[in-house]
Chains A and B, each alone.
Chain A
Amino acid sequence: MLRPITFSLALLLTTAPVLAQTAPTPPVVTTTEPRETIEGTLSQDRTVIGIPPLATASVQTVAGLRTDSLGRQIAEVIAADLERSGLYEPIGPNGVPAITRAEVQAPRFAEWQARNAENVVHGFVDAGSNGSLVVGCYLYDTALGSELVRKGFEIQPGDWRRAAHKCADAIYSRLSGESPFFDSRVAYIAESGPKGNRIKRLAIMDSDGGNHRFITNGQALAISPRFSPDYKKIVYVSYLNNRVRVFIYDVASGSQKLVTESANATFAPRWSPDGTQILYSMAVNGNTDIYRISANGGTPVRLTNTPGIDVGGSFSPDGKKIVFESDRSGGQQIYTMNIDGSNQQRISFGGGRAATPEWSPRGDLIAFTRMGGGEFRVGVMTPSGGGVRMLTNSWQDEAPTWSPNGRVIQFFRTTRGRDGKSSLWQVDLTGVNLRRLPTPQDGSDPSWGPVLP
């Protein structure tokens, strides 16, 4: 018997209004979605997984959603998640026979083996009580004929995608041994308009591009967003009223407040891993330094104090260190320091400049942008600066952000020339499985948050 696990959702989406800014006219939203494209190589020997549509005990309509249709859609999201990981080759839900509700716990292993599926995912979508849905999913080994993992959720119908991501996460974790990452969200900047006058809007979406929502209306330039670890807030830079300032946007209420009151430009904000602190950079008479402040306000602490540009920053996952960039040696390079600003040490050496460091959630690596020969590439290094590996090779790949499990890096890619545009991409830590993420407009500045509870 499946014991349903209830995961209550603090709904992050669809409720708050688009943030009002200075003028009323929102830009036109492009409705055509670019298809996800894959470039580069995939992992060798991808595991074949059969994923038929989830079964239903009886077809019912809940909140306008038919349980049998949802069974197919959830299977599609699970299959897409697993395929996107680069490790698996799903077969189904299209092109494979539907299963019965009874089959969910008694798969026809021989038939799946005949399709070369080493594993098979079965599941169900049933109407629950009080307008809820009960979703269950099971992973089996077809050769052994044994169950490997099962998950069950009672959810509100609007959260069916999350149930699919949770199923995919359970399957991915069981088969790969890695931590889950599909059920997570991304804040980024949606871009449109001509290169000389880009409209840049704060936007959020699921890690697969689903549940997309624009937050700001584009009247003020928005850049460099970061989701708070609990996904309740987004810290970002807005050019509202022709000033450069860091705001904290509250997702549920749609209101926002300044991180700190200052006549100076504040930018490049980042959260601490526990969400209690914010790093930001501030330019005073042309000299930029890094400051830390409580997310609730108060007195900022200045962390850097050298002539030149000290900017950005990213906390180590244990919250004890900060990696940041500085041009104190002449060009941009990467440094680490303690969170009180002590013990500042340069860690990046070698060719070119290094910028936009982001500490992996696993703590073992720092992703960064290397600039050299007129190009930007995304790479990783250890926290002591060793083991540098470049993961991408294009004209401008900038601003890496880590998946919650530290296995995948998203970044944005800009094409050159008068019609140059930016788009969101991701690549596996090993440098394979490079893909473009689907967004309704152009995209930049991705910020990937943790796995949802």
Chain B
Amino acid sequence: MTIRKSTAMIAAITMLAVGACAKKAPDTLPPAPEGTGDTGNNTGTGVVPGSQEDFLASVGAMGDRIFFDYDQYNVDAQDQATLQTQSQWLQRNPAVRVTLEGHADERGTRDYNIALGERRANAAKNYLASLGIDPSRINVISYGKERPAELGSTEEAYARNRRAVTVVIVQ
């Protein structure tokens, strides 16, 4: 999933050139919890394979989400790496279904942000599908700006809030 047309591409490039638009949040990610890097299913820890807990343990802290630039929805190399890790877990757990939650920061109007969150969640869904994950396993919902992960009104908080989060659906 890439930029839809040349004008948007120009806008995106302009935005990057302007620069202030801090790219990814992961520069400042907190340290990974124990268990990160374990690419196999967790065993012996009481974690139920295929559960949300198992998913988070497998993909690592913040590995359940990808981040976007202001008003953008393209999946860049860093996002692709995150989604590849997710897809590996999804392939190991073929019965599991997930919801992709799309979110926006608070600098957009409400209705538009719902649409923007839809774009972001679908961009992530489409990339997972391109890796072989059956798209029928993936629900999409946009929360727009209704459910910020970070509550501040700072560039750092906004960068964390422009996100698509993969959540395991409890069977």
Identify the A interface with B (CB < 8 A): 194-198, 200, 221, 223-224, 237, 242-244, 265, 267-268, 281, 283, 285-288, 307-309, 311-312, 325, 327, 329-332, 355-356, 369, 371, 374, 376, 396, 398-399, 414, 416-420, 444-445
The answer for the CA separation of A419 and B153 in the assembled complex, in Å, is 10
Among A281, A283, A327, max chain B CB count under 10 A is at: A283
Q: Chain B residues with Cβ under 8 A from A285's Cβ?
A: 122, 126
Closest residue of chain B to A375 (Cβ to Cβ) is B107
Q: Which of B1-51 contact A (CB under 8 A)?
A: 1, 4-5, 7-8, 10-11
Question: At the interface, yes or no: B146 with Cβ under 8 Å from chain A?
Answer: yes
A309, B152: Cβ atoms under 8 Å? no
Given known pairs A286-B123, A331-B11, the reply for A265 and B146 (CB within 8 Å) is no
A325, B112: Cβ atoms under 8 Å? yes
The answer for the CA separation of A288 and B102 in the assembled complex, in Å, is 14
A330, B109: Cβ atoms under 8 Å? no
Shortest distance from the beta carbon of B127 to any chain A beta carbon, whole Å: 12
A195, B123: Cβ atoms under 8 Å? no
- Top 4 A-B residue pairs of the complex, sorted by shortest distance between their CB atoms: A286-B122, A283-B118, A416-B153, A288-B115
Known pairs A195-B148, A198-B146, A223-B110 / 6 extra A-B pairs, C-beta < 8 Å: A265-B142, A283-B115, A308-B8, A376-B109, A414-B106, A417-B153
Given known pairs A331-B71, A374-B107, the reply for A244 and B122 (CB within 8 Å) is no
Shortest distance from the beta carbon of A240 to any chain B beta carbon, whole Å: 12
Q: Which residue of the partner chain, among B5, B71, B99, B112, contacts A311 with CB atoms under 8 Å?
A: B112
The answer for the CA separation of A398 and B122 in the assembled complex, in Å, is 27
B148, A196: Cβ atoms under 8 Å? yes
A286, B119: Cβ atoms under 8 Å? yes
Q: Which residue of the partner chain, among B8, B118, B148, B152, contacts A288 with CB atoms under 8 Å?
A: B118
Q: Chain B residues with Cβ under 8 A from A311's Cβ?
A: 111-112, 114-115
Question: At the interface, yes or no: B149 with Cβ under 8 Å from chain A?
Answer: yes
Q: Can you offer 7 A-B residue contacts whose CB atoms are under 8 A?
A: A286-B121, A288-B118, A309-B119, A311-B112, A416-B153, A418-B151, A444-B110
A332, B109: Cβ atoms under 8 Å? yes
Shortest distance from the beta carbon of A294 to any chain B beta carbon, whole Å: 22
Main SS at interface, chain B: mixed
Shortest distance from the beta carbon of A245 to any chain B beta carbon, whole Å: 11
Number of interface residues of B (CB under 8 A): 37
Shortest distance from the beta carbon of A222 to any chain B beta carbon, whole Å: 10
Question: At the interface, yes or no: B92 with Cβ under 8 Å from chain A?
Answer: no
Question: At the interface, yes or no: B73 with Cβ under 8 Å from chain A?
Answer: yes
B110, A307: Cβ atoms under 8 Å? no
Q: Chain A residues with Cβ under 8 A from B1's Cβ?
A: 286
Closest residue of chain B to A289 (Cβ to Cβ) is B115
Question: At the interface, yes or no: B57 with Cβ under 8 Å from chain A?
Answer: no
B115, A196: Cβ atoms under 8 Å? no
Given known pairs A242-B141, A243-B141, A309-B119, the reply for A224 and B107 (CB within 8 Å) is no
Shortest distance from the beta carbon of A145 to any chain B beta carbon, whole Å: 53
Question: At the interface, yes or no: B116 with Cβ under 8 Å from chain A?
Answer: yes
Closest residue of chain A to B123 (Cβ to Cβ) is A286
Q: Chain A residues with Cβ under 8 A from B5's Cβ?
A: 307-308
Shortest distance from the beta carbon of B118 to any chain A beta carbon, whole Å: 4
Contact with A along B151-166 (1 / 0, CB 8 A): 1110000000000000
Given known pairs A196-B148, A330-B8, A418-B151, the reply for A265 and B109 (CB within 8 Å) is no
B11, A268: Cβ atoms under 8 Å? no
Shortest distance from the beta carbon of A225 to any chain B beta carbon, whole Å: 12
Q: Chain A residues with Cβ under 8 A from B107's Cβ?
A: 371, 374
Q: Chain A residues with Cβ under 8 A from B141's Cβ?
A: 242-244, 265
Q: Chain A residues with Cβ under 8 A from B146's Cβ?
A: 198, 200, 221, 223
Q: Chain A residues with Cβ under 8 A from B153's Cβ?
A: 416-418, 420
B110, A398: Cβ atoms under 8 Å? yes
A196, B109: Cβ atoms under 8 Å? no
B109, A195: Cβ atoms under 8 Å? no
Q: Which of B88-126 contact A (CB under 8 A)?
A: 99, 106-112, 114-116, 118-123, 126
The answer for the CA separation of A416 and B157 in the assembled complex, in Å, is 12
Shortest distance from the beta carbon of A358 to any chain B beta carbon, whole Å: 12
B111, A312: Cβ atoms under 8 Å? yes
A309, B149: Cβ atoms under 8 Å? no
B148, A398: Cβ atoms under 8 Å? no
Q: Chain A residues with Cβ under 8 A from B106's Cβ?
A: 396, 414, 420
Closest residue of chain A to B11 (Cβ to Cβ) is A330
B109, A268: Cβ atoms under 8 Å? no
B116, A445: Cβ atoms under 8 Å? no
Given known pairs A196-B151, A265-B142, A286-B119, the reply for A281 and B4 (CB within 8 Å) is no
The answer for the CA separation of A194 and B112 in the assembled complex, in Å, is 23
The answer for the CA separation of A376 and B111 in the assembled complex, in Å, is 14
B112, A332: Cβ atoms under 8 Å? yes
The answer for the CA separation of A195 and B45 in the assembled complex, in Å, is 34
The answer for the CA separation of A223 and B99 in the assembled complex, in Å, is 21
